[in-house]
Amino acid sequence: MDLSLSALMCQAQAGDSLAYTKLLREVSGLLRDFVRSRRRNSSPSDVEDLVQEILISLHAVRSTYDPARPFTPWLLAIARNRMADGARKFGRALAQEAKSYDVVLNLYSPDQPDGEPGPDNEALTAAIERLPASQRKAIELTKLREMSLEEASRETGATVGAMKLLVHRAMKSLRKAMGKV
Amino acid sequence: MKTDALIARLAESPVPVEPLRRPWIRTAGWLAVSLVYVALVVAVMTARDDLLSVTGTARFWVEQSAALATAVLAAFAAFCSCVPGMDRRLLALPVLPLGVWLTSAGGDCLAKLIQEGPSSIVFAEDWLCLPAIAIVGAGPALLMVRMLRCGAPLSPALTMALGGLAAGGLGSFGLRLFHSEEASLMVLVWQIGSVVLFALLTGWLGRHAISWKRLIRQSHAAARFS
């Protein structure tokens, strides 16, 4: 197995498109299993996102493969590194999201006296209205109607990953609009 | 994007790439070019007057050998650190000569302190060391960064710190050939201290100099122009 992958990689380094396609197909299967075994709680779309990120990284550093060395440790070192990066990024995004969520909750408090929107609420409402339609919908569903990402994705037909991205981008825009960046 | 579509796009017209040479070959190449640069700087600065007399002392040879070995092994470790799948224990290699270097300067300092008392320890400001090491190490450092950017950014801060240690070690090696300073405490603080500072600084800059983001963007640009 390792020898055949190694041979395919040598051909790919020489610019053989067919060998490279075959290699990436075989490797994507291996990576899918590897990612799934390490991220048991990840959704299939998250697993696929990671597999794709690893494939892109592999492509970027394919010159670092030394044909005299085994292929699998080289591949798995890239995979582990990208997964660790992904986990760090995910952690940062979660923390950022939690912060942004607090900002929205603090700004958009329905308990204003007489139900009158305060100045911040007005600004926030205006900022939400200025968002692109898809992002506005994502915010309405996940933050104002408090749906989970899965529920919101079912409602809109978007994937969970796409919904997560929409919410993240909307939050970033809102924080910027409210001067909380 | 579906993974199959991504694979088709990546493999559409792969640019042929030459496999990176092995770390020890890259180290030899870096060292050869860097030594020429260091020799040129030493020639421009003119070698110290007492060079012949200090070459007669064992301490000079031990410390110069340790500085050079630190530079070589740190360069080798830096090149290993950007090859996926390499044994990570190799990254600790420069610790050994760095330890010898520190022990030699520190040991001499301690021995003087015990034998002759605190008055024998000379300490003065020598801010020249920092820029001098930076000048001698600049050529090797730039070449190192250029070479490291071809590798995989698995641990950018560590890779760059090792690269900085290599360039700084070589800088200190060159410095001692034109800068007359043999007091052990001065060598320990100003010369070895500058090298360590140089390594920490380059490590801190690591993420900006080498990153997956830059490498992936570069590889996409190469594919577009192929």
The alpha-carbon gap from B80 to the nearest alpha carbon of chain A, in Å, equals 10
pLDDT of the residue at A115: 45
pLDDT at A70 (0 to 100): 93
pLDDT (0 to 100) of residue A79: 94
Q: Which residues of A touch B84 (CB under 8 A)?
A: 61, 64-65, 73-75, 77-78, 81
Mean pLDDT confidence for A18-27 = 93
When CB atoms are compared, the residue of B11, B20, B84 closest to A24 is B11
The verdict on B226 touching A (C-beta cutoff 8 Å) is: no
Residue type, A130: R
CB pairs under 8 A between A and B: 97
The 10s digit of each residue's pLDDT in B10-45 is: 888 778 899 999 999 999 999 999 999 999 998 998
Inter-CA distances, B181 with B93, B173, B190, Å:
28, 12, 10
Q: Do A66 and B19 touch (CB under 8 A)?
A: yes
User: Chain A contact for B87, CB < 8 A?
Assistant: no
Which residues have CB under 8 Å from B61's CB, separation 6+?
A: B55
What percent of chain A stands above pLDDT 90?
Answer: 34
State the average pLDDT for chain B.
87
3-state SS of chain A is CHHHHHHHHHHHHCCCHHHHHHHHHHHHHHHHHHHHHHCCCCCHHHHHHHHHHHHHHHHHCHHHCCCCCCHHHHHHHHHHHHHHHHHHHHHHHHHHHHHHHHHHHHHCCCCCHHHCCCHHHHHHHHHHHHCCHHHHHHHHHHHHCCCCHHHHHHHHCCCHHHHHHHHHHHHHHHHHHCCCC
Mean pLDDT of chain A: 80
| Interface contact A64-B82, CB threshold 8 A | yes
Range in A21-35, A151-165, B15-29, B161-175 the model is least confident about:
A151-165
Q: What is the pLDDT of residue B226?
A: 47
Judged against a pLDDT cut of 60, whether residue B56 lies above it is answered with yes
CA-closest candidate to residue B61, choices B23, B30, B101: B101
Express as a percent the part of chain A with pLDDT over 70: 78
ipTM metric? 0.81
Q: In the prediction, which pLDDT does B52 show? A: 81
Q: Is the predicted pLDDT of residue A103 greater than 60, yes or no?
A: no
Q: Is A60 on the interface with B (CB under 8 A)?
A: yes
Average pLDDT estimate for B106-116: 80
Query: Across the interface, do A60 and B218 touch by the CB < 8 Å criterion?
Result: yes
Contact B152, A78 (CB under 8 A): yes
Say what the pLDDT of residue B193 is. 86
What is the per-residue pLDDT for B203? 93
Residue B118 pLDDT grade (very low, low, confident, very high; cuts 50, 70, 90): confident
Contact A85 B212 (CB under 8 A): yes
CB contact under 8 A, B7 and A55: yes
Q: Does B22 lie at the interface with A, CB-CB under 8 angstroms? A: yes
pTM over 0.95: no
Nearest residue in A to B14, CA atom: A15
Of A67, A166, A114, A133, nearest to B85 (Cα)?
A67
User: Which segment of A110-114, B167-171, B210-214 scores lowest on mean pLDDT?
Assistant: A110-114
